[in-house]
Chain A
Amino acid sequence: MASPANFLRLCLRPSRRLPTLRIAALQQPVLHRPLSTTQWRSAAADENAGKEEAEDEINEVFNNPGQYLSSFLRDEKITEEERQLATRMLEDWQKVPPNMRKTIEKLTEEITDASAPLRRPVVPKRDSFWNSEEPDTDLITDEVGEDDFEEDDIMAMGHAKLEEHREFREYARIAVWEMPLLSKLAKPFQPPTEEQVLRFRYTTYMGEFHPADRKVVVEFCPKDLPGLTEAQQLKLKKLAGARYNPEKDIIKMSCEKFEHQAQNKRYLGDLVNKMIETAKDPSDMFEDIPLDTRHHKFKQQIKFPKEWLLTEERKKELHEQRKQALLLDEAKRTEGSLIDGVETIQQALLHAKVEEAVPVLRGRSGRGRR
């Protein structure tokens, strides 16, 4: 209560009318049982507390810090320390030149007047139907007297529709006339140079807060890093573990453990440096550990075989093959060596000896055979 910061706060806000809103909110009855027949009454203790607070908050309107300080000093409950501080500040205020004092007072008054509607207490109407008097921002009309038809103009909805159309056209004009001018500001793409081996990726949500907007991803190819021998590159890949993509030969790491993008990026940069340093360290080159690629699923690229393409040549070749096959068949046919399954069977049946019917015992055993 007595800190200088608190004083300053109080001085800068001399008007104490704002809390009325809170009072209104406080006095709203909380209904515990909606169908209760007993009338609602606030608890006695609550009422007293509310009153005290109200007393504490309201009353005077101060036009400048001096008035506030002198009123504060009139209070008898404050401690000695506070009193001394307030006295000193009051003296300071009195040293302020009158011009400036007037300006401050005027400013205070203006602010008070301008913010008056904000401070008006919001009291929900008791017998409103579904808060129908609240403005609906999604509706395109202002809903004031829109059903009244004076026979001299189109209806409010019509006007609103027109307004909407105008808005569309405005944006269309911007798109046609002004957006192309943006291309003047475009910068040509410059591919990264050999020194820029790390590729960072950031995410922005266009100024909105998002838990992922701090995430930074870095990608680099171990081959691009300058001054690394083959063995060192291999060690670097082994160090990267599951972050290494053997198909693309790229190490990809991300960081989102710090609050800001820059911190995460810094961390990644340091980490890459550390990895390179470790990879260059000849004391243990991990030669006994094979490169682990179990985390990666190799995707087999299936291509249409070139030999299967029906080029003109291939078509000719196939045509020739078919012709040869037909010729072969024809030659066999004339020669008589072409084999026809059906014909073979018929010939065999013709030449087959007809066996004499053997008498077979009828009865159980005959049936049992099947």
Chain B
Amino acid sequence: MSAPNCLRCLVRPSAGIPVASVPRARAPLANLAPITAARSAPFSTTAANAKAKASSQKEAASARGGKKLQLGKFKKKDRTADKGRPPLPGERKAYRKRITLSNDNAIPVPWLTDLGPTDLAASENVAKVKSLPEELQDQLRASEAFKPTQRWGMFRKPAVLVRKETVDLANQMQDSANKKQMLRLVVTGDKVAGKSMMVLQAMAHAFLNDWIVIHLPEAQDLTTACTEYAPIPGTDPVQYMQPVYVLKLIQALRRANEKVLSKTYTTQAHPQLPQNIGANTPLLTLANLAKEPDNAWAVFQALWNELTAKGANRPPVLLSLDGLAHAMRLSDYRSPAFELIHSHDLSLLRLFANTLGGGVQFPGGGAVVAATSRNNAPRAPSMELALAQREAEQRLRAANNNNNSAPGDIEVPQKDPFFRGYDERVEAVLRSVQVLRVGGLDKLEARALMEYWAASGMLRATVDERTVTEKWALAGNGVVGEMERASLMTMRV
């Protein structure tokens, strides 16, 4: 008995193809090929239906396709749901960047006390959470010290944790103000380690102690060519002002420092301004002159001259900036010759760089605090190297003072002689700054912070040593942003 299929060529014998009767040797493949090609599926029993199916598939494909050309007079109504009003230009960004400072659903923390003028400099306040008083909140908000990435909106009231670094910084600021000197300091550290928060705390300390605070919230606003710029006539090399930004800055400055500025008076007349400003006018009046971008730069210069006037009786000044790397490189602006302008040729940043480099002395002393950023930071090799060098030098000095640890293993990093990307202007600015490295929290601080979270009802756990150690370790030895991520931002309820 023979098998139903031809075992060699796997062709099923049918009435049309008498395969079995054809001797294999004499039936060349060429003869078989057209027959098999005509049958689309050699193993299928439904050969007759194949054609009909193909046509129906074609129809389905056309039905699935995107747009259809509608012929005829009456068009069907679009039945898609009403999408409402599209957001206006800038609305989405405003929503993204809005800052919420309180949450009515959060539980008020009973033991929370407001920050006093000396609280941030007192070492007994280390590892304590303190809330920001209302007035300070307004001042900080006016000078854009709060950032949308920070978790203010989770708690009833904005509060900050006083860290060792905070007390250190506040004490240094206070010292320099007492001696009428300038503290020039760069805050650096790992990602989400609390660098911007450190700047905020410095500002808080300054506001609470009636300093004048000038805060540049993001250096990238100044250097990424997002705001208008114009050459300042009569400067060599040419400098550029950014009138719109400066106007905004003056307004923020005026709002945040209203009280202090009204008590500070000009020492000289400013005939170059259209409004006649004589000596002994409050600085607030001077600041109020900036109503439109055209005269903003002139007003700012007058203000600056007043603030730096020698021998005048002035409160200390805090000049702060976040995102230092953007200010330490070539900006995205172009000169008329289509060359990139160095950030330090933009006059506002030039003033900042001068102050940071020690070229400007405020009569009442003060501080320049700049914070680096790790997330939004263009490469600034000179800055990185300079900061590493200053830090190593500080450690070396500390080791020499202590005399107990071996300074031999601390090495000051040197320039790579074969690297081209260094910037001498940046090096000159950062030659003698202090570096404050913000590291992880210690366990005590972590515990205080987590107790605050739990008391606000944001952390559903018992805050004992076990939980604290767990979160502290998860956060890479207490990196505060990571602790937030590990405990606040999880969806575990």
Seen from chain A, the residues whose Cβ lies within 8 Å of a Cβ on chain B are: 290, 292, 294, 322, 325-326, 328-329, 332, 338-342, 344-345, 348, 368
Report the minimum CB–CB distance from A134 to chain B (whole Å).
34
Would you call B418 and A344 a contact (CB within 8 A)?
no
Q: Which residues of B contact A (CB under 8 A)?
A: 84, 107, 417-418, 451, 453-455, 457-466, 469
Q: In the complex the two chains form, is B454's CB within 8 Å of A292's CB?
A: no
**Are the C-beta atoms of B455 and A344 separated by less than 8 Å?**
yes
Q: Do A290 and B462 have beta carbons less than 8 Å apart?
A: no
Whether B457 and A348, one on each chain, are in contact in the complex, defined by CB atoms closer than 8 angstroms, is: yes
Cβ contacts A to B, 22 pairs, < 8 Å: A290-B417, A325-B465, A325-B466, A329-B465, A329-B466, A338-B462, A338-B463, A338-B464, A339-B451, A339-B455, A340-B462, A340-B463, A341-B454, A341-B455, A341-B458, A341-B459, A341-B460, A341-B462, A342-B460, A344-B454, A344-B455, A348-B457
When chains A and B are docked, how far (Å) is the Cα of A256 from the Cα of B462? 74
Contacting pair A294 B418 (CB below 8 A): yes
Interface SS of chain A = helix
Shortest beta-carbon distance from B153 to chain A in Å: 18
Max chain B CB contacts within 10 Å: which of A292, A325, A341, A348?
A341
Q: Min CB distance, A150 to chain B, in Å?
A: 44
**A290 pairs with B464, CB closer than 8 A:** no
Docked Cα-Cα span, A338 to B457, in Å, equals: 14
Closest to B458 in A: A341
Q: How far is the CA of A340 from the CA of B463 in the complex (A)?
A: 6
* A294 cross-chain contacts in B, Cβ below 8 A: 418
CB of B81 to closest CB in A, whole Å: 12
CA A332 to CA B464, docked complex, whole Å: 9
Q: How far is the CA of A294 from the CA of B419 in the complex (A)?
A: 10
Bound complex: CA of A17 vs CA of B418, how far in Å? 75
13 extra A-B contacts, CB within 8 A, seeds A342-B460, A342-B462: A292-B417, A328-B465, A329-B466, A338-B463, A339-B454, A339-B455, A340-B461, A341-B459, A341-B461, A342-B461, A344-B454, A344-B455, A345-B107
Q: Is the CB of A341 within 8 A of B457?
A: yes
Q: For the complex formed, measure the closest distance between the CB of B217 and the CB atoms of chain A, giving whole angstroms.
A: 32
Q: Say yes or no: A290-B418 contact (C-beta < 8 A), given A338-B462, A339-B451, A345-B107.
A: yes
Name which of A292, A326, A339, A342 has the most chain B CB atoms within 10 A of its CB: A339
**Separation in Å of the A354 CB from the closest CB of chain B?**
15
Known: A294-B418, A345-B457, A348-B107. A339 touches B463 (CB 8 A): yes
Q: Which residue of the partner chain B has the closest CB to A293?
A: B418
* CB proximity of A326 to chain B, nearest CB, Å: 7
* CB-based contact A345/B460 at 8 Å: yes
Q: How many angstroms from the CA of A329 to the CA of B418 in the assembled complex?
A: 57
A98 CB, min distance to chain B CBs, angstroms: 79
Closest to A330 in B: B464
Chain A residues with CB under 8 A of B466: 325, 329
Most buried by B among A326, A328, A332, A348: A348
Chain B residues within 8 Å of A292, by CB: 417-418
Instruction: Give the residues in chain A near B418, CB-CB below 8 Å.
Output: 290, 292, 294
A344 / chain B contacts, CB cutoff of 8 Å: 107, 454-455, 457
Question: Within the assembled complex, what's the spacing in Å between the Cα atoms of A332 and B451?
Answer: 12
Q: Which residues of B contact A342 (CB under 8 A)?
A: 460-462
A52 to B453, CA, bound (A): 112
Query: In the bound complex, do residue A339 and residue B457 qualify as a contact, i.e. CB atoms below 8 Å apart?
Result: no
Nearest Cβ in chain A — how far from B473, in angstroms?
Answer: 13
Q: How far is the CB of A246 from chain B (nearest CB, A)?
A: 13
